[in-house]
Chain A
Amino acid sequence: MLDALTHLHLQQYWWLIMSLVGSTLVFLLFVQGGQTLIGALGKNESEKTMVINSIGRKWEFTFTTLVVFAAGMFASFPLFYATSFGGAYYVWKLFLICFVLQAVSFEFRRKKGNILGQKVYEGFLYFNGFVGTFVLGAAVATFFTGSEFIRNEYNLSFWQTELYGLEILLNFTNVALGLAILFLARTLGALYIINNVKSDTIIQRARKQVIINALPFLVFFLYFMIRVFLMDGFAVNPETKEVFMASHKYFNNYLEMPLALIFFLAGVVLVLYGIAVSWLKESHKGIWFSGIGTVLTVLSIFFVLGYNNTSFYPSSIDLQSSLTIENASSSPYTLRTMTYISMLVPFVIAYIYYAWRAIDKHKVSKEDVSDDAEHHVY
């Protein structure tokens, strides 16, 4: 059935799939953002528990999406997986620590015998929320700014600094995207809690947090995007496959790919609209506008990174070591096989939608998180 597709078609298809998963992951970081707002939104134990149970019921979605993103990149672009994870070693290990601590914290937080005490587990949630989002943003920024690795003739990669990824924090453009993602996650977290919690007090505080976090998000995001639009980009010669620096490559990619530009503009407008209606009209639905806007914006960023003869994981010290969707991908057979598997994705989305609605039919209330509740409480 898919035999007519060329290797390049399949590579483009899998970049689209990974872009979708990646942009959904950024939206789902509202869980991490919400974790950093526990103290700001919950002023007593009951309120804190409501906030934690609201976002806690979704932590597995974010976690699973992250795992699927990593596994999908391994399967579809294994050279990226090997080069980035095996090179920017400390950054990804730090990221993993954030997530293993998060995994236990919701469940262990209020359990008797947890050794470390409730505050430490809540501290882990803050750690995951702040560091996890920041590190992810900074790491993704290197897709534009480049990393210090070389690749030999056997496609084995060698990182050229023993900081193994920590050096990315020395570049302010990377830091700016890290901070933009952190504040975006906090904004989305506040928007989600407005939608999901049955408490006027918490909702009022969350509205305030939307504005408090949306402003720095916009500052850092604008700074990052202006840098991206102005910078030279890592372009690929479609004939020779040689990588070279092209001026305003990413800006031109937007102009040359109208769909990416539409997604970007629509995405930014929707993010801002979600924030505005939550603040000005006291709407509960801001999360859906800003959420969809986030997905569209991030999707457009992935498009300009992977398509239109661009290197999506460039080497800043050896241009020809840079990774493109063509040289980093799996074989046509593997991509085709996985394409069949990917046909299950709409079915997966459908049951997630159904289950999500079933759980969220009742908003999280004070009674809902009491110890007498019939269901599970974090």
Chain B
Amino acid sequence: MIESIDFSLVNWSRGQFAMIAFFHWIFIPITIGTTYVIAIAQTIYVKTGDPSWEKLAKFWAKLFGINFAIGVGTGIILGLEFGTNWANYSWIAGDIFGAPLAAEGIMAFFLESTFIAVMFFGWGKIGKKFHLVSCYLVAFGASLSALWILVANAWMNYPVGMVFNPDTARHEMVDFWAVLLSPFAVNKFLHTISSCFVIGSFFMIAISSWYLLKGRNILLAKRSLVLAGTFGLLSSVFVVATGDGSAYNVANHQPAKLAAMEGLYDGTEGAGLVTVGMLTPGKKVGDDKPDFVFRHEIPKALSFLSFRDFNAFVPGANDLVFGNEKYDIMPADAKIDRGRKALDALALYKEAKDAGDEVLKAEALATFRQHESFMGYGHLLSPDAILPNIPFIFYSFRVMVGGGIFLVLAAALILFLTLKNRIERRKWLLRLGIFSFPLAFLASMAGWIVAEVGRQPWTIQGLLPTMVSTSNINVTAVLITFWMFFAILSVLLIAEIRIMIYAIKKGPGTKKKGDTHA
């Protein structure tokens, strides 16, 4: 299929995608998260006629607008990155992967962009109800957009609903509903969208906390804390709950990722869940170094969370690489061998087809189908290549989980004290509210690292390795564009942060009727 692999091209292509995704993710959760709070505040305004609620909605909409523009800008680069930098993937997976993207465009992008224009430019110009509906449609459009792209991403982790067509040399969709409603897709959407709500909420909590520390915009800040605190608490609890679902899916379908998340080298029954720990530096599969320098674990919890059975066997990295007969785990070199047989059979099928040799073609196809499910392994160069970077995933997972639990507690405490009208006196808590915002980002970034780096070496789990998914271009082209985008997006990010800071410092504008101190 691909005669030689240029690993520098693969790594820089991965780097470019990761870099742009990193920038994109800075903006998107705030955009998605704040839309609902804007809509709720505007609803209260329409219901009560109290202009201070409208002022609150407008203020958050202003910050939303600053963020939205750069979010869509980075989004288009990311969307077209599949074509520019991952052309082989785009062909091999495009029949399945492209459809959700097109659905996203038709169903969500137009909805979002049309009604954002109405929301921004309709204030005071169109009827209140139409304007309010527009606010909700923006929120709904943003979430719908997230649904489709996350369905596509989930499919990469759990490829279902398709067959490989040897004539076109690509996977082709046979069951749209299996793709849309796979347990990975449903859980990924719920987990990710709620993490956006959490980040959006803590964005508002941080700014409101700063206002209270400075003694400014007290009413807006307190109302925002109630809205964002409620929204943030519910969402963060939901994130934790769906996180359990994510881990369950990973355990059942991506065992190498789970082994990396837990730093588990030797599989065991009744496996414990490591809460904190330090992996032994330089530890490799198959060596006899201890797994951890130190660790604290909850006995049997990993088995239970993974398979809903306290005594279930959880495979470790060594089991996956070297195999484990007792638990019927095939060694990676056997999978690689079968993968190569599949690729050879596919090549033979093509030759027989060109030569018009129907007998040979049928034989080659039968051999291919026999080994097809291991096709991706045929590209791997060594058995341990089936594993992602274990320390990176292990520590990222703990940052995500630790951050998530902290955010639940922080949201609960902030909401409780705001409702009791005692938040202003707790300066430390207000500072914590500000600090929680970058922490929420850190936790969600760590989550993406677990999901995406943890999926390596695959773009499509088990079927297509990353190293054969790139475009067939030279690394110089990727390097040039990497640094160009890095420079442009860095400048725009700094500009965005500064504009945001100015807008926050300026606040909701001149004091009008209704903006009184609570």
Interface residues of A (CB under 8 A from B): 57-58, 60-61, 63-64, 66-68, 70-72, 74-76, 78-79, 81-87, 89-90, 92-93, 96-97, 99-104, 106-108, 111-116, 153-159, 162, 164, 330-331, 333-334, 337-338, 341-342, 344-345, 348, 351-352, 355-356, 358-359, 361-362, 373-376
Q: Is the CB of A108 within 8 A of B105?
A: no
Q: Write the nearest CB–CB distance from A95 to chain B, whole angstroms.
A: 9
Report which residue of A84, A89, A108 has the largest number of chain B beta carbons within 10 angstroms of its beta carbon: A89
Q: Is the CB of B473 within 8 A of A86?
A: yes
Q: Is the CB of A104 within 8 A of B495?
A: yes
Measured in the bound complex, the distance between the Cα atoms of B105 and A352 in whole Å is 14
For this complex, into which size category does the number of interface residues on chain B fall?
Answer: 35 or more
Query: Which parts of B1-58 form the interface with A (CB within 8 Å)?
Result: 1-2
Q: Is the CB of A158 within 8 A of B98?
A: no
Q: Is the CB of B90 within 8 A of A70?
A: no
Contacting residues, chain A, for B165 (C-beta < 8 A): 331
Check if B405 is an interface residue, CB within 8 A of chain A.
Answer: no
Q: Is the CB of B495 within 8 A of A92?
A: no
Measured in the bound complex, the distance between the Cα atoms of B74 and A162 in whole Å is 26
Q: List 18 A-B contacts (CB under 8 A).
A: A58-B117, A74-B82, A74-B101, A75-B98, A89-B473, A103-B72, A116-B491, A159-B472, A330-B172, A333-B174, A337-B173, A344-B106, A345-B106, A351-B111, A351-B114, A352-B110, A355-B118, A362-B125
Q: Is the CB of A111 within 8 A of B174?
A: no
Q: Is the CB of B169 within 8 A of A348?
A: no
What 1/0 mask marks residues of chain B from 68 to 112 whose CB sits below 8 Å from any chain A CB?
A: 111011111101101111111011001111110111111101111
Contacting residues, chain A, for B73 (C-beta < 8 A): 99-104
Contacting residues, chain B, for A79 (C-beta < 8 A): 91, 94
Measured in the bound complex, the distance between the Cα atoms of B94 and A67 in whole Å is 16
Q: Name the contact of B121 in the complex, choosing from A70, A72, A78, A375 (C-beta under 8 A).
A: A375
Interface residues of B (CB under 8 A from A): 1-2, 61-62, 65-66, 68-70, 72-77, 79-80, 82-88, 90-91, 94-99, 101-107, 109-118, 120-126, 130, 134, 165, 168-170, 172-174, 176, 350, 354, 471-474, 476-477, 481, 484-485, 488-489, 491-492, 494-496, 498-499, 501-503, 506
Contacting residues, chain A, for B61 (C-beta < 8 A): 376
- Classify the interface of chain A: helix, strand, loop or mixed: helix
Question: Residue of B at shortest CB range from A342?
Answer: B106
The 6 closest A-B pairs by CB, nearest first: A86-B87, A78-B94, A85-B83, A103-B73, A75-B98, A374-B124
Q: Name the contact of B122 in the complex, choosing from A102, A156, A359 (C-beta under 8 A).
A: A359
Q: Is the CB of B110 within 8 A of A64?
A: yes
Contacting residues, chain B, for A356 (C-beta < 8 A): 114
Q: Write the nearest CB–CB distance from B140 to chain A, whole angstroms.
A: 13
Q: Write the nearest CB–CB distance from A235 to chain B, whole angstroms.
A: 23
Contacting residues, chain A, for B114 (C-beta < 8 A): 60-61, 351-352, 355-356
Contacting residues, chain A, for B79 (C-beta < 8 A): 67, 70-71
Q: Name the contact of A341 in the complex, choosing from B72, B102, B488 (C-beta under 8 A).
A: B102
